[in-house]
Amino acid sequence: MSEPDVTVRQARHADREAVVEFTQDTWPELGGDYIPRVFEEWVDTDGPTQRTLVAVVDGDPVGICQGVTLSEHEAWAQGMRVAPDYRGEGISPALTEAVFEWAADRGATVCRNMVFSWNAAGLGQSRSMGFEPLAEFRWVEPDPDETADPTLDVLSDSKAAWSAFHGSDAYHELSGLGLDLEESWALAELTPERLADAEATLTVADADSVRGTTYRTRTFQREEDGEERQWAEYGVGAWSDHEALRSLAAAVARDAAEAGAEKARMLIPETPRHVSDAAYARQPISEEPDFVLERDLTRY
């Protein structure tokens, strides 16, 4: 059977009903998909650095994906969804190629995405489109606490934070990436300039050296069990040993509480050392890692 005739174009408000129809039950075990909540905002905010695309068959949207430029050379692909009746029919490749072309036209030389580690279909589709494995991460989730007492000194110095991150094994394990400051759930190259623009930088140090660092990217509302909770998010954690992590987590707990957050999470590399350090320091950690993949766009 031949593949359907697919047209890819920019999303419109009129597409909302169809997009919601094929995305609302994507992951019911996780409380549903976020696409129905953000679709109208995506359409409203499309511009030079963002493009929301839909794949159309016989006039009906049957797939969606968004491309975002994070810097002059970095692009991010997200929100890839295909209507169940059209999976395996060439919809996802058409959307992905359109994102690549859009990003390359704007000067991007690389495009990255994030796929849940358990999402075999998403991982397979990404690899088939030339995305290569780059890094993996999970979350440490300290409980916000205004009385948390780090045993190390806590500094607010973006230059010290950059030096600590750049010299850490976290830098190498994550290929220099941390959470972007503007685009949620996107990872970008962490630079001194990005650290200087973060909501806050936290660096723990003893009398001799810096031993850990992180930065706050944002605070946001997230619904859990029918209730809205305020979260504080930290772009990446780097530390020298489990004792340094314990102080860094305490600094995060105090900073998150002072920012009015009820929950906090800090991105960490998915390695035996980092995850076991978190367990050793008695810090709550997320159950499963996420994967970051990368596609070279220099030949587009």
Give which of 124, 125, 123 is closest to 115, Cα–Cα.
Answer: 123
Instruction: Write down the pLDDT at residue 206.
Output: 95
Mean pLDDT value of segment 44-65: 97
Instruction: Write down the pLDDT at residue 270.
Output: 98
pTM: 0.94
- What is the C-alpha to C-alpha distance for residues 294 and 276, in angstroms, rounded to an integer? 27
Give which of 285, 299, 261, 244 is closest to 137, Cα–Cα.
Answer: 285
* Position 32 confidence tier, pLDDT thresholds 50, 70, 90: low
Instruction: Write down the pLDDT at residue 222.
Output: 82
Residue type, 138: R
Q: Is the pLDDT of residue 128 over 70?
A: yes
- What is the C-alpha to C-alpha distance for residues 270 and 273, in angstroms, rounded to an integer? 8
Counting Cα atoms < 13 Å in the Cβ hemisphere of 64 gives: 29
Dihedral sign (CA 47, 48, 53, 59): positive
Q: Which whole-number Å values give the CA distances from 247 to 72, 73, 257, in the listed order?
A: 36, 35, 15
Q: Residue 291: which residues within 8 A CB-CB, separation 6 or more?
A: 114, 115, 116, 117, 123, 133, 135, 136
Q: Is the pLDDT of residue 31 over 60?
A: no
Output the 3-class SS for the chain: CCCCCCEEEECCHHHHHHHHHHHCCCCHHHCCCCHHHHHHHHHHHCECCEEEEEEEECCEEEEEEEEEECCCCEEEEEEEEECHHHCCCCHHHHHHHHHHHHHHHCCCCEEEEEEECCCHHHHHHHHHCCCEEEEEEEEECCCCCCCCCCCCEEECCHHHHHHHHHCCHHHHHCCCEEECCCCCCCEEECCHHHHHHCCEEEEEECCCCEEEEEEEEEEEEEEECCEEEEEEEECCCEECCHHHHHHHHHHHHHHHHHCCCCEEEEEEECCHHHHHHHHHCCCCECCCCEEEEEEECCCC
Distance of CA 175 to the CA centre of its chain: 14
Distance of CA 214 to the CA centre of its chain: 16
Instruction: Write down the pLDDT at residue 24.
Output: 84
Dihedral sign (CA 224, 229, 233, 238): negative
Interior angle at CA 190, CA 185 and CA 194, nearest 5:
90
Give which of 211, 204, 231 is closest to 148, Cα–Cα.
Answer: 204
Q: Is the pLDDT of residue 64 over 70?
A: yes
Percent of the chain at pLDDT > 90 equals 89
